[in-house]
């Protein structure tokens, strides 16, 4: 499974920015933009995992890139995840250990 602490530190979670900065804090957004030398970053939360698979199943998300995990095993509703993956236009899987 992915490392949640690492995700929080580098900003790879959908509901917060790097270093635990919050999307509702303009100063935090500016701090992250400045640190990463990024003139524009997201200013609102993205989809969390369950919401992402729901959006994939409904066709609102077309492509998914899965890294270092098996969502059919790790997500709470394996059948929904399977349906969503079957409807995706493209599924990319990056796995370090096969």
DSSP run (H or E) holding 41: none
| pLDDT 10s digits, 6-61 | 777 787 888 899 988 999 999 999 999 999 999 889 999 999 999 999 999 999 99
The structure's pTM equals 0.77
Would you list the domain boundaries of the chain?
1-46, 49-94
What DSSP string describes 47-93?
--HHHHHHHHHHTS--EEEEES--HHHHSS-HHHHHHHHHH-SEEEE
Q: Residue 37, SS3?
A: coil
Measuring CA to CA, which residue among 87, 33, 31, 97 is closest to residue 62? 87
């Amino acid at each position: 499974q992915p490392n949640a602490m690492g995700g929080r530190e580098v900003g790879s979670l959908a509901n917060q920015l790097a270093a635990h900065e919050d999307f509702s804090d303009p100063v935090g957004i500016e701090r992250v933009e400045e640190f990463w030398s990024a003139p524009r970053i997201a200013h609102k939360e993205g989809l969390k995992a369950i919401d992402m698979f729901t959006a994939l199943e409904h066709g609102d998300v077309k492509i998914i890139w899965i890294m270092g995990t098996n969502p059919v095993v790790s997500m709470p509703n394996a059948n929904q995840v399977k349906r969503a993956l079957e409807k995706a236009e493209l599924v990319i899987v990056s796995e370090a250990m096969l």
